[in-house]
């Protein structure tokens, strides 16, 4: 992580943005304040001659990001889903990064497949195409299985991609440490921890065996979801650097003209994308965390097909309930409850004023209720949210980064399909159903039953444990200097209370 090469890498980043003409585009898109514009210029302009030239046929921002490498391309893919933040023109330019990057030679891909699967490509596949899509980490070939004739997608990692990512990540670590030292207020955002989280996500994405596992689990979870498909993985044709999935035929969700020509209702599709994501996040706690338009298609029957499962998010049951209560509070305009949930979950330091926090949340929520989505400036809204988090000392929660990022991306996809979508109205039924089933008396009973089952596994050991505690309690030699009440003395009353509560709730609510 240390060394002058990282400093050179950061300088080259600024120089490349300057040389390609992307610096002005990026600063203008983010409405950067004068101080930041000056700092960016000082990083790029004096070293402009060090910048990478990139592909001259591409627009400035796309040209710069593709020249800088895969980590920068990932960032551009996220921005491509948010025209309401970076502007329609820049978002359109960045869509190129989703699946239209320059491919590597098909012969190189075949050699990698043969090395990984230890069989000739001609033996495994009766047909094998040139690359049909190329992204930052891998490219995809359309093929046909020699044994069954089934059409499949064969994904092959780019040669040397892991080394390229590590170079970028090392430079990002250096930038994060500089930011923490030069701007102490940024420490609550935990930039180093954020980069460490990003590194873990990316390194997992570079092992296609894990992606195959993600695809299989995701397919099992969503098998009953109406209007949604997940291609199945072929394990015997997958390895660390190669993955084979069923072929997904359909219209890319990034082509509104084709969607309209095919007669699909984009308003319905936009609502479905958002509701599917919420269902997966709340119901399953396992969701597609890279749901940009380049990873979604529409089948001939109108189903949404998801693919590319390298980045998946997972949240525990407690976090799901917190997330649902926050969403429900906004939907019902109960900002006091939203504030309480933040304090209960520890997202806001306990020494802050809960009423002040609720007032700040009202200023976030009220302007976007009942307003046409096309009239809402997400850039200004996010800027105000940042001010709120700073004022109330909220630190970045690395365990929620994927959830928050995906929520932003999915909302951007929904808006691209339906610029007038009412996000809260669409989310309402999904969140309300989750609240009914998972927050309240039935959920308490379910938790008690789970607790009783866990305790039940230790049933044969309980007498010996209690006896050991009683012996220890009666033997002065085993007593600590400051005697504490033995846990054993609470065990049986706790079990009795648990049984009574479970029985009472079962009679009352089941």
Residues with catalytic roles: 290
Q: For strand 296-298 and strand 251-252, is the pairing parallel, antiparallel, or unpaired? A: antiparallel
Q: Which token pair is 354?
A: 């809960």
| Half-sphere exposure (Cβ direction) of 96: Cα atoms closer than 13 Å | 19
Q: What values do phi and psi take at 388, rounded to 5? A: -65, -45
Report the alpha-carbon distance of residue 486 to residue 489 in Å, rounded: 6
Report the alpha-carbon distance of residue 128 to residue 348 in Å, rounded: 54
Q: For strand 138-145 and strand 151-157, is the pairing parallel, antiparallel, or unpaired? A: antiparallel
Q: Which residue in 171, 195, 167, 190 sits closest to 180, CA to CA?
A: 190
What is the 3 state secondary structure string of 218-260? Answer: HHHHCCCCCCEECCCECHHHCCCCEEEEECCCCEECCCHHHHH
Q: Which residue in 48, 76, 46 sits closest to 62, CA to CA?
A: 76
Contact between 27 and 40 (Cβ < 8 Å): yes
Q: Which token pair is 92?
A: 């359109």
Q: Which helix (H) or strand (E) holds 297?
A: strand 296-298
Report the alpha-carbon distance of residue 17 to residue 22 in Å, rounded: 5
Q: Residue 421: helix, strand or coil by DSSP?
A: coil
Report the alpha-carbon distance of residue 137 to residue 73 in Å, rounded: 9
């Amino acid at each position: 992580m240390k060394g002058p090469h990282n400093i050179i890498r950061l300088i080259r980043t600024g120089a490349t943005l300057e040389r390609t003409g992307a610096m002005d585009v990026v600063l203008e898109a983010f409405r950067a304040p004068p101080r930041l514009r000056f700092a960016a210029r000082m990083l790029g302009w004096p070293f402009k001659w060090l910048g990478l030239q990139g592909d001259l046929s591409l627009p400035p921002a796309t040209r710069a990001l593709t020249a800088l490498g895969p980590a920068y391309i990932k960032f551009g893919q996220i921005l491509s889903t948010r025209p309401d933040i970076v502007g329609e023109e820049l978002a359109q330019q960045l869509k190129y990064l989703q699946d239209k990057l320059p491919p590597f030679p098909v012969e190189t891909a075949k050699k990698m497949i043969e090395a990984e699967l230890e069989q000739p490509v001609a033996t495994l596949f009766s047909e094998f195409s040139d690359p049909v899509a190329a992204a930052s980490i891998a490219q995809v070939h359309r093929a046909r299985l020699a044994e069954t004739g089934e059409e499949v997608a064969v994904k092959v990692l780019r040669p040397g991609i892991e080394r390229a990512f590590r170079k970028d990540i090392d430079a990002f670590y250096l930038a994060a440490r500089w930011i923490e030292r030069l701007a102490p207020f940024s420490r609550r955002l935990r930039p180093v921890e954020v980069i460490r989280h990003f590194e873990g996500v990316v390194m997992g994405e570079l092992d296609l065996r894990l992606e195959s596992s993600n695809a299989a689990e995701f397919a099992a979870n969503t098998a009953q979801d109406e209007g949604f498909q997940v291609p199945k993985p072929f394990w015997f044709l997958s390895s660390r650097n190669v993955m084979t999935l069923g072929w997904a035929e359909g219209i890319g969700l990034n082509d509104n003209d084709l969607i309209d020509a095919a007669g699909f209702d984009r308003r319905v599709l936009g609502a479905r994308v958002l509701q599917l994501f919420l269902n997966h996040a709340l119901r399953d706690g396992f969701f597609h965390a890279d749901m940009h338009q380049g990873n979604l298609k529409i089948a001939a029957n109108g189903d949404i097909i998801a693919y590319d499962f390298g980045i998946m998010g997972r949240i525990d049951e407690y976090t799901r309930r917190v997330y649902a209560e926050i969403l429900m509070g906004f939907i019902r305009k109960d900002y006091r409850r939203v504030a309480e949930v933040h304090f209960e979950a520890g997202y806001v330091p306990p020494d802050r004023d809960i009423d002040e926090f609720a007032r700040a949340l009202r200023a976030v929520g009220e302007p976007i209720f009942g307003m046409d989505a096309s009239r809402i400036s997400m850039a200004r809204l996010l800027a105000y949210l940042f001010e709120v988090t700073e004022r109330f000392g909220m630190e970045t929660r690395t365990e929620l980064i994927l959830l928050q990022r995906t929520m932003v991306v999915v909302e951007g996809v929904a808006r691209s399909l339906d610029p007038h979508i009412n996000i809260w109205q669409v989310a309402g039924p999904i969140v309300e159903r989750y609240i009914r089933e998972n927050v309240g008396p039935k959920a308490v009973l379910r938790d008690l039953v789970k607790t009783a089952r866990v305790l039940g596994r230790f049933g044969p050991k309980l007498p010996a444990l209690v006896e050991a505690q009683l012996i220890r309690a009666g033997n002065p030699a085993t007593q600590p200097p400051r005697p504490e009440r033995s846990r054993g003395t609470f065990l049986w009353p706790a079990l009795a209370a648990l049984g009574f509560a479970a029985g009472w709730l079962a009679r009352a609510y089941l």
